[in-house]
Chain A
Amino acid sequence: MAMAIRVFLSFLLFLSLTNLASSLYEDQVGLMDWHQQYIGKVKHAVFHTQKTGRKRVLVSTEENVVASLDLRHGEIFWRHVLGTNDVVDGIDIALGKYVITLSSDGSILRAWNLPDGQMVWESSLQGSKESKSILNIPKNLKADKDDLILVFGKGCLHAISGIDGEVLWRKDFASESIEVSHIIQSPEVIYVAGFVGSSKFYVYEVNAKSGELLKNNHVALPFATSGESLSVSGDKFVVLDDVRSKIVTIDINNGNINYNQKQVSDLIKDSSGQAVILPSKLPGLFALKINSQVLLIKVTNEGELVALDQIDNTAAFSNALSISEDQHVFAFVQYEDNKIQLSVKDVNDWNGALLKENLVIDHQRGNIEKIFINNYVRTDRSHGFRALMVMEDHSLLLVQQGEIVWSREDGLASVVDVTTSELPVEKEGVSVAKVEQNLFEWLKGHVLKLKGTLMIASAEEKIAIQKLRLRSSEKSKMTRDHNGFRKLLIVLTRAGKVFALHTGDGRIVWSTTLHALRKSEDCEHPVGLNIYQWQVPHHHALDENPSLLVIGRCGPSVTAPTVISFLDAYTGKELNSLSLAHTVARVIPLPYTDSTEQRLHLIIDVNKHAYLYPRTPEAIEILKREFSNIYWYSVETDNGVIRGHALKSNCIHEIVDEYCFVFRDLWSIVFPSESEKIIATVTRKSNEVVHTQAKVMTDHDVMYKYISKNILFVANAAPKASGEIGTATPEEATLVIYIIDTVTGRILHRMTHHGCQGPVHAVFSENWVVYHYFNLRAHRHEMSVIEVYDQSRADNKDIWKFVLGKHNLTSPISSYYRPEISAKSQSYFFTHSVKAIEVTSTAKGITSKQLLIGTIGDQVLALDKRFLDPRRTLNPSQAEKEEGIIPLTDSLPIISQSYITHSLKVEGLRGIVTVPAKLESTSLVFAYGVDLFFTQIAPSRTYDSLTEDFSYALLLLTIVALVAALFVTYVLSERKDLEEKWR
């Protein structure tokens, strides 16, 4: 019998070990997961349409992406994501075959092959001083000539060969204290121009062949300037003075520098607002913006300023585009009550417009921020123009013939926060088709499908049919499913736009630009901050839609004014929005809801006030009841102090506000500033479910997990070693980690890793924390685990105590108990550096956990928690093996099959979110960065459901066959019986 049990157990062990390497087959890719590629908000765009089969546009973005897009469909031909510190400063095409990018403050110059995006060469440019970086590539149509690429960066002018990236010469301007803003190239001489201080304009002449300084010249203006000068033509510059009332024209003709000045008020009658020169490069022209008007001013050859036109409600100006030898055109966009007008005009011929088109753009996209134009030859041999528009929500549109040819939702490259929402319940008797579409659409769909089956559908119709099929397929329905796989992922982007993505196929269900977070005079740089579930109706209240709380701020600083907005989670409609009178330093969702299921939130401002939302008397009642049970903490990273707080009383203001509270400090932890600096803090997820408190050890001993919601993990590094890896010696570096109770401020556990340093990435779940750091002594990354057990409950082992009710397991736990903690810890080497760590979460917390590690290669690795078990020993006993303890190894294995992103990369990975499905075994994983990736994972296999490829037909067939066999054998046996009796 014992043998049988052992065999059975070892069989179980074998099964569980096979689970460790769960992965999918090649044909399963894309069944559960989806992957979307984005590029981010476009900064620069260069078209490449001449003499090429594939028309493309090359863009660089604020997410540091260099990409080549198909101009016909907007798809990505190729894309390179440079690192977060490698900001792209300029992009251009050289020699007609290379894309040249300048990045990292003008210190790295790269050439990419235009068709396929392979890197051709890379040059690292040296320099001593931080400065503006300028990329100057001569526009020369003769590709065979070796043109110089001129780069100004880090205070130096570099001349680089376009063929191999060799630096031919460099001229250091660091000693001249000049703020170089222009480089003008002529065949023999290069002019380098810029301001020294704010009033001296210097021009240096440099030999184009050798980099020799030929001469310099300067002019001292009798007043200070605003600093931002614009080159109007090869030898003329315009700049505003520091009070922005005068326009100064500087002419550097033939080495002599002259200047003219003109009052702004001479050009425009109403010059009360602040004038700004728009940075559009137009030959002989410049645009001056005053209030909402734009004044186009022509600079004549003599340096005179002539006002050409005044344009109202302008949104954006493009740079000039040369369409023939002497014809330069530019485009601008105007708003005319709800309509958008795109105009293309010749620089020299102001009165005639080459193009005037009206556009309709969804107002959810906000204003047009940038416009780039490109020309093509129409069928009637006239000039046609297409425009690439960057919108306020970071999306990218291509407009041609007054229509949007394609659009890209590149706001999704900058996801800030993610939450989820359940889908509506499928109503009985109403087909999904009717909920989603009207009758005509429904009929059309059926006609399309009929065509498809009769094989008379065209290629486009086939695509439409495919789309319809996808939409009606099980996984992309707009209703709640039994397993809870279908949900809405609600993401907030940095632009303040909210998208709802369907987990089935990743399509955008709705998107809303928050009205309060639109760019306006009061709100210069709106950013989205956080998104929370505001109202989650109980599953009986089916007619109510859940709602969301979105928090945004008008600017990067904490003191900027804040707006909050409430959205309907099913439709994206903005229910309400408030401009707050106070700032937002922190938002605390409280574990209480009112009678309409609205969650109570406390918003803490910078002036130490707490505000309660929703502002209803009922919410106040609930808060009053729980007044003394609300605790929170704040981390002052710069100061090295952690404080605990509790509510005290109502605010004392002139105006009585009963939703405003002051709070007091209950505890504080002050880290010694000379030896410790806070580098990471992590808490448990507030909605995490823990299945069992007890853990049965191999020797039938019981350990009780120390499970508290109010627990904080803090990692401190020595101040010397808080920089990059390699800047500190192992002797200087220490990493101290703390586990702190946030109600009483008790340090539950404290541990020092000598010779280790950050960056620390950590995840806290149940009673354990896993963190990742760098070990300088071993020259490797390490991951450590700490498991915290409660010793005060450890003596509840005797069964008689349970029978007689003498245990203390049901007594309420208070943080004011003196905790008896035992912590177990172990460290392992880990090969990768890490960008994010998460842990899977399931509905009931029964399923074993996996760590999801976002690696430096932008992939997500699923690592079983059992590898990070502090009880792993070198030679586990038979009993321990049966429990699933893996023999101790010094490094954590990286099994290539356990990458949940399989062959894909989530470029620029920033975060991983896990959401439990309703099915216990399954967890939904959403990874975001520049790309988005979603999949379902089952850490212990789908033990509670049949797999997708389970053959129900076979099962049915077997049952039918069995029943038939039963019947046949019954009849046969009856007959035989009868025969027997007759014998």
Chain B
Amino acid sequence: MTLLRSILTVTLLLTFFFTLSPAFQSDELLLDDEEFGLEGGRPQTRPSSPNTAATTTTTTTRKRIPDSASDSKIQFTLEHAFGDSDFSEAGNFSARLKTWSHGAQTLTKLRFSRDAFTEDEKNKFQELLKRDDFYRIRLPSNVLSPPGRDYIVSSVKARCLPGDGLEEHFVIHTESVNILAVNYGAPGACPFPRQLKLPAKWSFKSHTLLKNTEQAPRTPIFTEELIGGEGIEGELVQPIERSFWAKYWMYMIPLGLIVMNAVTQAANMPEEQAGGQAGAPPQQGTAVQRGTNSGVRRR
């Protein structure tokens, strides 16, 4: 008995230890994370923007970093254009480029610092708002050798951006060091028809998100028996499992109707019969009386 108890305690301890150890590991990784600044936190290494009015909310996709991965910091610029004007610099993205042991590279920990609009740009933007024209941005398609093959262009109707201040939302789709596309726009709604509304504050509130490709779900592979019993046959076997009622309803319903009919008839019958029987004794009487009463009846 004591032996059993000791085994139990050992197993309990063991399970405790095993459940604890991954938590411990993840804690370590979090520490590792902290080295680069926590998600959403204000980055310390941010290059000082000329106007600190721009607030940045940075969201990064969290990645587990194995020990073999090395990383380096890279920067690339955001450029913008007002309508059909030329592109000019508008901000800076910085990210960590992780090189994995098997050679693949991924971008993580994206941070963004937005340059505030100059007076000239403010005027241009107001012009865009009036014309309901496009505010366009572009990014290099390769972050290591910008601009890569071509620039990634995205645009939004300028009237979508002004909220309290100016609000924007970037979703950057990456494939190792390449940027495929950027979804750029207001973080929320932009109802049509778009109303002319000047921003209260000329400061940008930027949300950024890095997106990598998803794995497609694997095709389920079943055992041979299941493949053999093809879907349709399986379906057709099912009716056997149906209840008695389901199987014989077509007989039951007419039967039920007949029974119900019979019942109602039976319910009616006693009345009639009662009426008939009630009427019967007087009939016997009338047979006697007929001769006398006939004259009265024929009146």
| Residues of chain A whose beta carbon lies under 8 Å from any beta carbon of chain B | 3, 7, 10-11, 14, 17, 20-21, 628, 640-641, 643, 646, 648, 664-673, 675-676, 736-737, 740, 744-747, 750-754, 775, 778, 782, 784, 811-814, 816-818, 825-829, 867, 874, 886-891, 893, 895
Contacts and interface: CB of A to CB of B under 8 A. Distances in A.
Nearest to B148: A670
A14 B227 contact: no
B204 to A, nearest CB: 16
Contacts of A736: 213
A670 B150 contact: yes
B178 interface: yes
B246 interface: yes
Given A670-B141, A747-B180, A890-B222, A818 B186 contact: yes
B71 interface: no
A780 to B, nearest CB: 9
Given A20-B235, A21-B232, A826 B185 contact: no
A750 B214 contact: yes
Contact of A671 (B84, B180, B218): B180
Contacts of B90: none
B253 to A, nearest CB: 11
Contact of A754 (B134, B175, B215): B215
Contacts of A886: 231, 235
B191 A667 contact: no
Contact of B188 (A11, A646, A818): A818
A784 B154 CA distance: 30
Interface residues of B, number: 63
Contacts of A676: 175
A890 B226 contact: yes
Interface stretch (B5-13, B31-39, B43-51, B237-245): B237-245
Nearest to A786: B216
Given A752-B215, A816-B186, A10 B246 contact: yes
Nearest to B160: A816
A667 B216 contact: no
Contacts of A811: 191
B232 A895 contact: yes
Contact of A664 (B84, B171, B179): B84
Contacts, number: 166
A775 B215 CA distance: 14
Nearest to B156: A816
A493 to B, nearest CB: 39
Interface string B172-197: 01011011110111111111101000
Contacts of B62: none
Contacts of A778: 219, 221
B220 to A, nearest CB: 5
Contacts of B171: 746-747
Contacts of A818: 169, 183, 185-189
Contact of B185 (A7, A816, A889): A816
A744 B231 contact: no
Nearest to B150: A670
Given A648-B84, A812-B191, A670 B152 contact: yes
Contacts of B217: 825-827
Contact of B173 (A675, A750, A891): A750
A332 to B, nearest CB: 57
A751 B213 contact: yes
A784 B231 contact: no
B219 A10 contact: no
B216 A784 contact: yes
A676 B227 CA distance: 34
B295 to A, nearest CB: 19
Contacts of B218: 827
Given A736-B213, A737-B216, A889-B230, 17 more contacts: A10-B246, A14-B242, A628-B132, A641-B150, A666-B134, A666-B153, A667-B181, A672-B176, A673-B149, A745-B153, A751-B215, A782-B219, A816-B156, A818-B186, A826-B217, A827-B218, A887-B231
A554 B136 CA distance: 39
B216 A825 contact: yes
Contacts of B178: 670, 672, 675
Contact of A14 (B84, B185, B234, B239): B239
Contacts of B194: 814
B255 to A, nearest CB: 16
A223 B104 CA distance: 60
Contacts of B181: 667, 669-670, 740, 745-747
5 contacts: A672-B178, A744-B183, A751-B215, A753-B216, A828-B219
B249 A7 contact: yes
A750 B192 CA distance: 27
A668 B181 CA distance: 7
Nearest to A824: B217
Contacts of A746: 171, 181, 183, 185
Given A751-B213, A827-B219, A890-B219, A669 B152 contact: yes
